[in-house]
Amino acid sequence: MSRLATPIRKNDNVLVITGKDRGKRGRVLKVLPDKNRLVIEGVNMIKRHTKPNPGKNIKGGIVEREASLHASNVQLVCPECGIQTRVGRKILGDGRKVRICRKCEGVVDK
């Protein structure tokens, strides 16, 4: 399976634009590029019924955790202007390729 290019990376701040958690902001914990999905902190919470496993030191019960969300359902939040934006690319004078905010033209990458 080919790798899908998503402009969103781990530790980016994103805003959910559709679905049951619309309007929530969170930090990207994990990117699943093969499925074009993201795991976002505090968003798309599911209840998982787990069996106790003393060997792996896992307690049984109902565990709440984040499920993945499709990358098309979120937009990046620009760290400079603080609003949701599309992502562009630019090559700087020193040769670095960086992601930029389409609204304020600010650099998203550190």
The residue segments making up the domain with residue 73 are 13-51+59-101
User: Which of 25-29, 69-73, 102-106 shows the lowest per-residue confidence on average (mean pLDDT)?
Assistant: 102-106
Structure tokens at 35: 């499925």
- Tell me if 17 is assigned to some domain: yes
As for how many domains the chain has, the answer is 1
Average pLDDT over residues 84-106: 92
How far apart (Å, rounded) are the C-alpha atoms in residues 47 and 66? 9
Average pLDDT over residues 25-32: 95
- Tell me if 79 is assigned to some domain: yes
Residue 33: band (very low, low, confident or very high) from pLDDT cuts 50, 70, 90: very high
Q: Is the dihedral of CA 64, 67, 73, 78 positive or negative?
A: positive
How far apart (Å, rounded) are the C-alpha atoms in residues 42 and 66? 7
Any idea what the CATH number is for the domain that residue 22 is in?
A: 2.30.30.30
Q: Which is more confidently placed, 22 or 1?
A: 22
- Structure confidence by residue, pLDDT tens digits, 39-74: 999 999 999 999 999 999 988 999 999 999 999 999
pTM (two decimals): 0.82
- Tell me if 2 is assigned to some domain: no
Residue 3: band (very low, low, confident or very high) from pLDDT cuts 50, 70, 90: low
